[in-house]
């Protein structure tokens, strides 16, 4: 009899352990949603829910002109590694911010550098201290980890107005979007790398990337469009509100144009049986780098 009771209890516990987590619907208006490869479905958090999530503080200097400050908020790596359960194969989080800006970050980078989704700056609510960055600011520990501040791309990694996170697979999203079509010119391959470094956080290609600027998938099919593109990117670099593309060299501009021309000619679709190409360049992902052209976890 006792054996049967123990067996029944074991079956109940096993069934409970196998039950899928229920989605978190939050309370009140949604401030932050976590979508994509999340077990149990999308999670939504209201203002009162944020205080219950794992939190931490860090010191950092916003490279876009801010002074060093203490940023307190949601510990992003704990939110995605402990508070929520992710599907197998998830290795990338796409942080959606203000005006359609999107930053794709390998989960391995979150674990290494531990940024926060800050709602407080030096003890003052973010909405008061920096209204343009509310409701949440992706902040990095550039003061605690000085090496972060030495990378000229660091200003891209701070994201204002974060309202959504999408947990994705690199291979199934950015890897396919940045794949160089067969038969493309030699410049197209480095052009795909340059596009991910300078463009994809604001511009979409093959349905992947930011929405701050226009979709570029089919823009460069005609020769006249390619000439206009080179002129446009030079003027774009001088716009004060533009993403920091001033460092893009003439060679990189030509390479990006070559990549986009190849994409435009081949069409937006990708053969389903062909995996994305391995990227060029440094295989060590920089902190907060746009994960697309570097498989996360390197």
Highest mean pLDDT among 22-26, 40-44, 240-244: 40-44
CA dist., res. 212 & res. 156, Å (int): 13
Residues ≥6 apart with Cβ < 8 Å to 66: none
Architecture of domain 21-168: Alpha-Beta Complex (3.90)
Average confidence (pLDDT) over 159-173? 94
Q: Cβ atoms within 10 A of the Cβ of 127, count?
A: 13
Is the pLDDT at 282 greater than 50? The verdict is: no
What CATH class is the domain 174-293? Answer: mainly alpha
Q: For the chain, give every domain's residue range.
A: 21-168, 174-293
Summarize pLDDT for 216-225 with one digit per residue, the tens.
888 766 666 6
The answer to whether the Cα torsion of 72, 73, 78, 82 is positive or negative is positive
Q: What is the pLDDT of residue 197?
A: 83
CA dist., res. 31 & res. 48, Å (int): 9
Is the pLDDT at 262 greater than 80? The verdict is: yes
* Better pLDDT: 246 or 181: 181
Choice among 77-86, 157-166, 233-242 with the minimum mean pLDDT: 233-242
Average confidence (pLDDT) over 23-50? 88
Q: What is the pLDDT of residue 223?
A: 66
Task: Write down the pTM of the prediction.
Answer: 0.78
Q: What is the pLDDT of residue 21?
A: 43
Summarize pLDDT for 127-149 with one digit per residue, the tens.
999 999 999 999 999 988 877 87
Q: Which two tokens stand for residue 112?
A: 């290494």
The answer to whether the Cα torsion of 60, 62, 67, 69 is positive or negative is negative
């Amino acid at each position: 009899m006792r054996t049967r009771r123990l067996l029944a209890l074991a079956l109940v516990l096993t069934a409970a352990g196998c039950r899928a987590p229920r989605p978190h619907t939050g309370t009140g208006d949604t401030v932050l949603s976590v979508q994509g490869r999340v077990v149990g479905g999308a999670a939504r958090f209201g203002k009162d829910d944020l205080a219950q999530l794992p939190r931490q503080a860090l010191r950092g200097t916003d490279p876009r002109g801010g002074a060093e400050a203490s940023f307190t908020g949601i510990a992003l790596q704990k939110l995605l590694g402990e508070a929520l359960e992710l599907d197998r194969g998830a290795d990338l989080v796409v942080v959606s911010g203000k005006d359609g800006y999107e930053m794709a970050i390998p989960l391995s980078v979150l674990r290494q550098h531990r940024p926060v989704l800050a709602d407080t700056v030096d003890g003052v609510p973010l909405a008061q201290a920096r209204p343009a960055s509310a409701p949440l600011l992706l902040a990095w520990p550039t003061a605690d980890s000085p090496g972060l501040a030495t990378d000229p791309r660091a200003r891209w990694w701070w994201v204002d107005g974060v309202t959504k996170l999408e947990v994705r697979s690199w291979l199934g999203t950015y890897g396919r979007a940045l794949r160089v079509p067969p038969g493309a010119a030699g410049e197209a391959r480095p052009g795909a790398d340059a596009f991910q470094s300078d463009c994809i956080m604001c511009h979409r290609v093959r349905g992947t990337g930011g929405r701050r600027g226009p979709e570029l998938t089919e823009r460069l099919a005609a020769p006249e469009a390619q000439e206009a593109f080179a002129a446009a990117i030079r003027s774009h670099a001088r716009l004060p509100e533009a993403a920091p593309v001033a460092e893009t060299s003439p060679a990189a501009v030509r390479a990006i144009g070559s990549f986009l021309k190849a994409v435009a000619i081949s069409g937006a679709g990708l053969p389903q049986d062909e995996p994305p190409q391995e990227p060029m360049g440094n295989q060590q992902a920089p902190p907060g780098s746009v994960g697309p052209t570097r498989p996360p976890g390197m």
